[in-house]
Structure 1
Amino acid sequence: MDMPSAQEAITSNKHAWDESAQLHKDTDNWKNLLRSVADPGFSRLDSTITALLQDVGVAGKDVVQLCCNNGRECLSLFSLGARSVVGVDQSRAFLQQAQELAEVSPHSPEFVEADIHHLPERLHGRFDVALVTIGVLGWMPDVALFMRHVASTLKPGGTLVMYETHPFLEVFDPHASNPLLPASSYFQCDPFVLQESIVYEGLSEVAGPTSYWFVHTMGSLVSGAIAAGLQIGHLQEYPHSNREELYDQYEHQPAQLPLCFTLTATKR
């Protein structure tokens, strides 16, 4: 199979995300979100990323979340005292959900529809903190280019905060008869070609538009951050899973795998 160009993959992925949005509506998770966001102290940030954001300092700061999905984490940042929050995502359908949640919330984030590779000029050099969370890096064809665009949003001295799936986890297939046997190379160059809808939070797989999932090593991520003018201040790996429930089986192993990580990096 011929691999797509980077722009073709980005366009396909945008379409797949838009198509998947409805699968996350009219679910118990969505109904719970609509009820919960009315609380001024609402948060969907787990203890790991909450502690890191508190350590970095979000109170009184201007924060951008890149690839914010339905905005639940944007709204959560207000519980940590953020002065302003902007959520950026290329999926119009998920941003419509974000706006629905914001209308119920007492807080007022701004949502911007934009591909990370084509950010509006008004977002450049504007933020104290840029947040990137679970399930973003795999959609990026070029992680070094992604890091340059992330860095472009930060003020000098601003900080990137990242909480992502560990790239080593990508070598395993959780559906395999032996899910602990490596199924692909850690150094895989071509993306995984997916033919099912993008679903999470325990939803069943269903057929959907073609999308492309890219594998990036930890070394390429760190090198990309450095090349983007970001100074690494913190990198920590964890044995807990922060992605779909299917990956919980990799926790509590006799020889434990790294399942996720946090990283902070400051713009010089």
Structure 2
Amino acid sequence: MRLSVRHVTRYVFEAPVKRLIQSHRLWPSEHGGQRILSWQVDTGAANAGAGFRDGAGDWTQTVSMKGPVTEFAITVSGVVETEDLSGVLRGYREQVPASAYLTSTRATAPTVELRTLAADALDGLDGASTLDRAHALARAVRDAIAYAGGRTEPATTAAEALEGGQGVCQDQTHVLIALAHIADIPARYVTGYLFATEDSVGAEASHAWAELFVGGLGWVGFDAANGCCPDARYIRLGSGFDASDGAPIRGVVEGAATETLEVSVAVTQGGQQQVQQ
């Protein structure tokens, strides 16, 4: 499948700020399931700083802009050829051992309630393969957390999302990571894009899902929001321990100011176009 992406992120500051510095992880890496045909990240008049590929295989680029800054836009555009590998991340080069992703963060910290959900999901699966256990955990998350926008905040934890029973793909991914850690399965947070169909959810901006490490297969993606493993509709950007660590855009500004964030994503394939704002 050939997918075209146009992703615009615009910051508007109520009062000018003295300086803006950001770290971008907006470049997808090639692997068995995706080949980059073209890709560009336009940051206008911002100055590009250091760029490097981290141990997880993701390219990070820093940018900065001296003030007064009242508006800053990032435009991502590109074309990616994808293939359905049933969620398996093949041919991806990284140096971080899978065991590092048994580390929990505030967002994915286990609680009694999360442990109970994990135990219920794995009931009767003693001796089952890691892949079967991973699928069971993903199903449990989808059953426990109904997809609903506006019910949670960026800082909502897995425990809080489970208590509320509603959330977005970020929350469902945090819960799945927490359950995987409880089951002693390495898991990480993945960001990217989804070419959504009529019954898909979570494609309002960049999408999120989890990858769990399965011996003999490696990293396998699980999208609890849509009840599937990533297929040819998905473009993988990067990963981290949680949403904050894996964020495609992170930054700071010098000078206090209220900001407004505007995001629009357009995904095109085979003459079909989707625009989410």
What TM-score, normalized to structure 1?
0.25
Q: Per residue, is there more helix in 1 or in 2? A: 1
Structure index of larger Rg: 2
Q: Per residue, is there more strand in 1 or in 2? A: 2
Which structure ranks higher in relative contact order (CA pairs < 8 Å, sequence separation ≥ 6)?
2
